[in-house]
Amino acid sequence: MDGIAAEQDTGRRENFDVDHITHESLLVRMQDIQDGQAWNQFHQYYRTLIINFAHSRGCSGAMSQDVLQESMITLTKVMPNFRYDRVKGKFRTFLLTIVSSRIVDAFRRERKYQEWQATDSEQIPTGENTAEEWVSNWEDDWEHEWQQHLLMHALDRVKKRVKPYIFESFRMYVLEQRPAAEVTAALEVSENTIYQHRRRIVTMLQQEVEAIKLEIGEM
């Protein structure tokens, strides 16, 4: 088990999902509303990001699901005429404008519902800032969430490409930041092997990050 020689990286990707590799940008394919595979791929990739971001802005679970669904509906309306120009900005920035608007809408609906339920003795909290001021500082948070989301997808792909003990050493040593001595004792490998695993997976992660960016049109 010691060492990584037994785990040869042939470069094959049989364990990947069918639509791991695309011949056209996902954004181009999504201009065809009838391309169910493209839309399913988009939903699969972005759903967690959108839900988590909405939740981080204060949306409940139900509200976050509504934000996701309303964002997808908006996209079906705009994508047929959408023309992506990298010079004007990244697609994820465009997506943020949609998601943030749907979050604002969700809170407006929630507020109307609360007002409808409230009695005369109840007071509905009001925000001091306008909706525009409220969302003005979301760009950095969205970018951070997106980068983390991208890394998690890449990590999941790498996990499918290596033997379990190799990924486990990376998880313990890098992700959980356990001491090398603890990892070597748990997995019965040398410290040098752990370092090799780390280098190998970091390289693979970089490759997968670039592959995902290419697939979703975010290069």
Is the predicted pLDDT of residue 184 greater than 60, yes or no?
Answer: yes
Is the predicted pLDDT of residue 142 greater than 70, yes or no?
Answer: yes
DSSP string, 124-189: ----SS-HHHHHTTHHHHHHHHHHHHHHHHHHHHHHHHS-HHHHHHHIIIIIS---HHHHHHHHT-
Question: Tokens at residue 184, please?
Answer: 């070597």
Amino acid at 43: H
Q: State how far the Cα of 118 lies from the Cα of 109, in Å rounded to an integer.
A: 14
Is the predicted pLDDT of residue 49 greater than 50, yes or no?
Answer: yes
What percent of the chain clears pLDDT 70, i.e. is strictly above it? 75
- Best-predicted range by mean pLDDT (25-39, 84-98, 116-130, 194-208): 194-208
Q: Which residue has the higher pLDDT, 159 or 115?
A: 159
Is the predicted pLDDT of residue 9 greater than 90, yes or no?
Answer: no
Is the predicted pLDDT of residue 169 greater than 70, yes or no?
Answer: yes
What percent of the chain clears pLDDT 90, i.e. is strictly above it? 55
Place of tokens 């056209």: 24
Is the predicted pLDDT of residue 79 greater than 80, yes or no?
Answer: yes
Place of tokens 């609906």: 109
Q: For 157-178, what is the mean pLDDT?
A: 95
- Best-predicted range by mean pLDDT (4-8, 10-14, 212-216): 212-216
The alpha carbon of residue 114 and the mean position of all alpha carbons in its chain are separated, in whole angstroms, by 32
pLDDT tier at 53, thresholds 50, 70, 90:
very high
pLDDT digits (tens, 9 = 90+) for 108-127: 887 755 554 554 444 434 44
Q: Give pLDDT, residue 122.
A: 45
Amino acid at 113: Y
Q: For 90-110, what is the mean pLDDT?
A: 90
Is the predicted pLDDT of residue 92 greater than 60, yes or no?
Answer: yes
Q: For 178-198, what is the mean pLDDT?
A: 95
Q: What does the mean pLDDT of the chain come to?
A: 80
Q: State how far the Cα of 31 lies from the Cα of 28, in Å rounded to an integer.
A: 6
Q: State how far the Cα of 185 lies from the Cα of 175, in Å rounded to an integer.
A: 17
CA dihedral 217, 57, 66, 97 (to 10 degrees): -40
Domains identified in the chain and CATH numbers: 19-121 (1.10.1740.10), 137-219 (1.10.10)
Q: Give pLDDT, residue 64.
A: 94
Place of tokens 């925000």: 127
